[in-house]
Structure 1
Amino acid sequence: METQPSPTRYENKVPYVQCGKSGLVLPRISLGLWHNFGDVDDFSEATKMIQFAFDNGITHFDLANNYGPPEGSAEENFGKILHHYLPGYRDEMIISTKAGHRMWPGPYGDGGSRKYLIASLNQSLKRMKLDYVDIFYSHRYDPNTPLEETMNALSDIVQQGKALYVGISKYPVDKTIEAYSILKANGTPCLIHQDRYSMLSRDIEEGILQAADDHGVGFIGFSPLYQGVLSDKYLHGIPDNSRAAKSTGFLQRSQISPEILDKVTALNAIAIQRGQTLAQMSLIWCLRHPTVTSVIVGTSSLKQLQDNIDALHYPRLSEEEIAQIDTILQQK
């Protein structure tokens, strides 16, 4: 059943900025469907979160072929939500998906080959019932495939009209620069680079952000809350129902050391002084960098999503606050 989005969805809720040197703008917060949108999750809640995001000006929805679980189910559920609840609003959305990690058995369901990327995108389009996606990513660098093959496949996908733009995700710096050059020479420049970025995960500051800036490429960060560690969830230790406690995903209990918890506690004190949550401060810390176009948030509730959106309405971090945060993060 179609519902009407809020008529005020573009009125000072989520700001937009230019993505690199392209003509495309992205919302400062994008909604990621990595978790909480698979078949194991509550479809009704997933629907509410996507509607709420769109009602508040979040126009970018970030997926990948293997999001779920099971793999592919996040795309399928997003397609159902889009066509049943927001059928007339496709052109107001930026929909991205990716391929690069293992998706199906055998030698052709993983990596960066032309065979895999094009087959995977065709499957993604069928699952979401779309003619094209706005952004298609190579989800990871594949050392077993020539980079020219992967980039030429991305270029052909644009030329075939199956994606409007292309991006890369989690590439090392040297391969990043090489990929940018190939895509530019092909006439399909890289729009955006996606990688992990948070106060507790800053590797991209050692080259990726500079490379993106030098080549006019936008950057979008995922896991800006370090999978929930940069929130109030872990302030008093590791909750029994948390991802770290279950150690079934990418966040392991061993990663939440006493040193990390000490840093989180100290960072939370600065957030309290600012009158906001640690999660909110963590988001605007990522967005302080001029090359960062957007951050991808994952959410399991409307309350969390509203808290993330509210982060954008607080003052920017001062130079003094940034220095205080750096001092905490540099502690051993």
Structure 2
Amino acid sequence: MTYSAASGRYETMHYRHAGRLGLKLPAISLGLWQNFGGTRDYPSAFEILGAAFDAGITHFDLANNYGPPPGSAEELFGQVMARDFRPYRDEILVSTKAGYHMWEGPYGEWGSRKNLIASCDQSLKRLGLDYVDIFYSHRFDPNTPLEETMGALAHLVAQGKALYVGISNYPVEETRQAHAILKALGVPCVLHQPSYSMLNRWIENDSTIDACGELGIGMIAFSPLAQGILSGKYNTGDTEGARGTSNNPFLKAANIRPETLEAVGKLATIAKARGQTLPQLALAWVLRRKEMTSALIGVRTLAQLHDNLGALHNLDFSPEELAAIDAATAPGMMDGKPRWK
């Protein structure tokens, strides 16, 4: 059956400007990290992707190494674009990134011009697209001059392979430097994509979020549920398919501290008092900041998608609620600051 997007898809979604630019993103974007790789069949993938677009999610976030295996998420999304989303290409934002390990040898990762331009070309082939809407430097490279990395991003815009460029996992000083270099080249830095959640506040602690607000860079948070910890599943034991029980190198169940789980329990009580689920509270909290353009969700099921979208019904917090969240999370904070190795 030919897909036809829902006629009312823009009626309930909130759209926010990326910093001071004209580009708008949905308040909730869909990321394809880990849940849309080679183990996901087309029907189950499109059930979620189609429902997301029908709900007004116009932004789909990828990277060259998303899978598993690496590259498979872009390949799957490329199939969706070709079969079902092609008539809606001009209504959809597709973003991808390069910087983490993708192929063997000295050019398969980090931030050299060679890596970024080759990676973008490979991503476009997997996606079956002439251009991506946003292309990111996925992580700061301490061994490559920022002038080279940012110059490569600007070159991709000049070639028409990317409409906008951004950075991900960059600390505050490198964020300022990247912005200045791109500005001198006549290319704005549209977005910064950091990890950010109630349990992971490194962008507040080192003032990255304040710098982005000052410079007019939009922000889009990944892991707003702290890789599933803020779903409450590790408190209930319902962890089938959870990242902490898989081979995920970024989250191991054994590394989830008792203090963190205790904090999650207190947050669940706050969420209930607000008439929200815990994931809805987590997403609303991330979106409370005016600097935050969008929050990236990563869902495995249609039910999770619908639950996450429910966060949009209550995005306001009282000072008392924010203070209670701070008190609940203080002992259970996670160290989420990006590292280069």
* TM-score under structure 2 length normalisation: 0.94
**Closer, same or farther in 2 for the Cα pair 1:131/1:240, shift >3 Å?**
closer
Q: Distance in 2 between matches of 1:213 and 1:240?
A: 39
Is the aligned partner of 1:283 residue 2:283?
Answer: yes
Q: Which residue of 2 aligns with 1:295?
A: 295
* SS class of match (1:331): helix
How far off its partner does 1:36 sit? Answer: 1.4
Alignment of 1:121-200 (within 5 A): 121-200=120-199
SS of residue matched to 1:137: strand
CA distance in 2, matches of 1:156, 1:330: 43
Q: Report if aligned partners of 1:238, 1:244 keep a CA contact under 8 Å in 2.
A: no
Aligned-partner Cα distance in 1 for 2:23–2:43: 31
Deviations 1:70-108 (A, max 9, x none): 111100110101110122000001100000011111111
What's the secondary structure of 1:110's corresponding residue?
coil
Q: Which residue does 1:74 correspond to in 2?
A: 73
Cα displacement string for residues 209-245 of structure 1 (whole angstroms, at most 9, x for unaligned residues)? 0110111000000000011100131223573653223
8 A Cα contact 2:260 2:329, kept in partner: no
Runs of 4+ in 1 over 2 A off after TM superposition: 235-243, 245-249
Q: Which amino acid aligns with 1:82?
A: M
1:256 counterpart = 2:256:
yes
Give the 3 Å change call, closer, same or farther, for CA 308–151 of structure 1 in structure 2: same
CA contact (8 A) 1:193 1:220 kept: yes
Structure 2 residue matching 1:299: 3-state secondary structure: coil
Match of 2:218 in 1: 218
Aligned equivalents of 1:277, 1:39: Cα separation in 2: 30
In structure 2, distance between residues paired with 1:239 and 1:222: 20
1:330, 1:260 → 2: CA distance?
Answer: 9
Q: What's the offset of the Cα at 1:39? A: 1.1
Aligned residues: 331
CA contact (8 A) 1:192 1:217 kept: yes
1:273 aligns with 2:280: no
Does the 8 Å CA contact 2:285/2:315 hold for their aligned counterparts?
no
In the alignment, the residues of structure 2 paired with residue 239 and residue 309 of structure 1 have an alpha-carbon distance, to the nearest angstrom, of 22
Measure the CA separation in 2 of the matches of 1:128 and 1:83: 9
Residue 17 of structure 2 corresponds to which residue in structure 1?
18
% identical aligned pairs:
55
> Contact 2:61/2:95 (CA < 8 Å) preserved in 1?
yes
Contact 1:197 1:221 in 2 (8 A): yes
Higher alpha-carbon deviation: 237-246 or 149-158: 237-246
Identify unmatched segments of 5+ residues in structure 2: 333-341
In 1, the alpha carbon distance for the partners of 2:180 and 2:241 equals 45
1:209 equivalent in alignment to 2:209: yes
Whole-angstrom CA distance in 1 between matches of 2:241 and 2:154? 43
| Deviations 1:190-227, CA, capped at 9 Å, x for gaps | 00000000011100012110110111000000000011
SS at match of 1:87: helix
The answer as to 2:1 corresponding to 1:8 is no
- In 1, the alpha carbon distance for the partners of 2:238 and 2:106 equals 39
Whether the 8 Å CA contact 1:31–1:297 is kept in 2: the answer is yes
What amino acid is the match of 1:114?
R
CA contact (8 A) 1:29 1:294 kept: yes
Distance in 2, Cα, partners of 1:295 & 1:50 = 16
Task: Give the equivalent residue in structure 2 for 1:110.
Answer: 109
TM-score (norm 1): 0.97
Shift of 1:31: 0.2
The alignment partner of 2:19 has SS state of coil
Aligned to 2:53: 54
Render the CA deviation track for 1:234-270: whole Å, top value 9, x for unaligned: 2235736532234543111233111111100000001
1:296 aligns to what SS in structure 2? strand
Alignment correspondent of 2:337:
none
RMSD (Å), alpha carbons: 1.3
Q: Which runs of 5+ in 1 are unaligned?
A: none
Distance (Å, rounded) in 2 between the aligned partners of 1:239 and 1:135: 33
2: distance between equivalents of 1:282 and 1:255? 21
Structure 1 residues 254 and 202: CA distance shift in structure 2, 3 A: same
1:315, distance to aligned residue in structure 2 (A)? 4.8
Distance across 2 between alignment mates of 1:284 and 1:297: 12
How far apart, in 1, do the equivalents of 2:237 and 2:81 lie? 39
